Amino acid sequence: MNRKGLEVSEHVGDLLSGFLDGELTQQQRQVVTIHCADCEACRDNLAELRALKERIAGSRLSELGEDKWRENMNDSGVELSRGIGWLLFLAGLLVAGCYFVYVVLIDSGTPFIAKFILTGVYGGLAVLLFSVLRQRLIERKTDKYKDVEI
Ligand SMILES: [Zn+2]
């Protein structure tokens, strides 16, 4: 049996995966390279294994990317509409408040006690709104934390 025959008889199937993952020593890589130059079976194995690994890596990447993309779309879509809702609501409230202050408080015809009561009502409402808004922000942070935990 000549030297070449010996090499071909010792297939490098066990080393192929490590070869593709770059886990072999310089010497082992050389063995695989030299062997595959002469052995068609191992060369085919190597090509097949490489194609398989690329397919797995590719599908994993695209799945992950799609999920991430969908998640982001949902998140930003919901948050955007929610944010616009709050913005419109608060802007309307602010305008109404200015109008209220202008019409009721500045109008000298309104009795002082009415001004006092209405200011209390409006001030209370503003404080309530602020606390609700604050609560929502805290809840949202907690939700995000839960998502990460799961
Ligand atoms: Zn071989």
The more confident residue out of 149 and 36 is 36
Could you tell me the distance, in angstroms and rounded to a whole number, from the CA of residue 52 to the centre of ligand 1? 19
Contact 54, 47 (CB under 8 A): no
State yes or no: pLDDT of 24 exceeds 80.
yes
pTM of the model: 0.38
- Angstrom CA distances, 82 to 73, 87, 146, stand at 14, 8, 20
Could you tell me the distance, in angstroms and rounded to a whole number, from the CA of residue 25 to the centre of ligand 1? 19
Could you tell me the distance, in angstroms and rounded to a whole number, from the CA of residue 44 to the centre of ligand 1? 9
**pLDDT tens-place string over residues 49-99:** 999 988 888 777 666 666 666 666 667 777 778 888 888 888 898 888 778
> Band of the pLDDT at 2, cuts 50, 70, 90?
very low
State yes or no: pLDDT of 128 exceeds 70.
yes
CA distance 69 to 63: 10
Which runs of E-coded beta strand occur in the chain?
A: none
> Band of the pLDDT at 3, cuts 50, 70, 90?
very low
**pLDDT tens-place string over residues 101-111:** 777 777 767 77
State yes or no: pLDDT of 121 exceeds 70.
yes
Could you tell me the distance, in angstroms and rounded to a whole number, from the CA of residue 36 to the centre of ligand 1? 6
